């Protein structure tokens, strides 16, 4: 069985975002990452019990990259607000 290689530009997506995205696919694929210059090369190999649909995989992977990048950006911008709410919610009652 052949592998599927997807190249991801590090000028667009953070390494943390790529790793979070890759993790979402580890239930169906064996996955590896290699860095070359400003690109991460993600290689997918189907697990023996899975039927590989690499065309669909690439589309789903790219959508998930966008989702994870938005989550990352939102956390960077507004994570401190969530932390303040949690801190207040669990502070002792006086």
- Report pLDDT digits (tens) over 55-75: 999 999 999 999 999 999 998
* pLDDT (0 to 100) of residue 82: 79
Taking only the tens place, the pLDDT of each residue in 31-58 is 999 999 999 999 999 998 888 899 999 9
Q: Domain 4-89 falls in which CATH fold?
A: Alpha-Beta Plaits (3.30.70)
Q: Where are the domains of the chain?
A: 4-89
Half-sphere exposure of 14 (CA within 13 A, CB side): 11
What is the pTM assigned to this prediction?
0.80
Residue 21 pLDDT more than 80?
yes
């Amino acid at each position: 069985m052949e592998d599927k290689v997807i190249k991801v530009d590090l000028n667009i997506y953070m390494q943390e975002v790529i790793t979070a995205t890759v993790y979402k696919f580890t239930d169906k694929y064996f996955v590896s990452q290699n860095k070359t210059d400003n690109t991460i090369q993600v290689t997918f190999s189907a697990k023996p019990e899975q039927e590989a649909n690499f065309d669909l995989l690439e589309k789903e992977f790219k959508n998930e990259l966008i989702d994870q990048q938005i989550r990352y950006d939102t956390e960077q911008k507004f994570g401190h607000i969530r932390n303040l709410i949690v801190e207040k919610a669990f502070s002792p009652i006086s």
